[in-house]
Amino acid sequence: QSALTQPPSASGSPGQSVTISCTGTSSDVGAYNYVSWYQQYPGKAPKLMISDVSKRPSGVPDRFSGSKSGNTASLTISGLQPEDEGDYYCGSYTGNSYFFGTGTKVTVL
């Protein structure tokens, strides 16, 4: 198995919405409701933004939301803010290991 597939880039103006997809298989994304999303700034460690498809940890703004349909999970950022610019990675439990997505660079125009 290889990494989960994400679009390389996504962009939007402040206040707009951006949705990032994460496509896996019936053995990972499709098999479990255990998809997470991580935000990463350059030179920094990833930060958990969404767990278990749609759970938002304490302190994460409610403009971040997650969903899943079949083998594809999605992260939506509603009301895009300048500080949302960065790299976003999805990740999925696979039963005996863990796969990450290829990453999406979000640009706030």
Partner 1 sequence: QLQLQESGPGLVKPSETLSLTCSVSGGSISNGPYFWVWIRQSPGKGLEWIASIFYRGSTYYNPSLESRLTISMDTSMNQFSLKLNSVAAADTAVYYCARHPPCGGGHSCTFDYWGQGALVTVSS
- Binding residues (CB under 8 A) for partner 1: these are 3, 32, 34, 36, 38, 44-48, 51-52, 55, 57, 89, 91, 93, 96-103
Asked whether the beta carbons of 15 and 80 are under 8 A apart, the reply is: yes
Closest distance of CB 46 from partner 1, Å: 6
Q: How far is the CB of 88 from partner 1 (least distance, A)?
A: 11
C-alpha to C-alpha distances, 13 to 37, 42, 98, 106, nearest whole angstrom:
21, 21, 33, 11
Is 47 or 63 the residue whose CB approaches partner 1 more closely?
Answer: 47
With 0-12 / 13-18 / 19 or more C-beta atoms within 10 angstroms meaning exposed / middle / buried, residue 50 is: buried
Give SS3 for 106: strand
Q: For the CB of residue 100, give the shortest distance to partner 1 in the complex, in Å.
A: 4
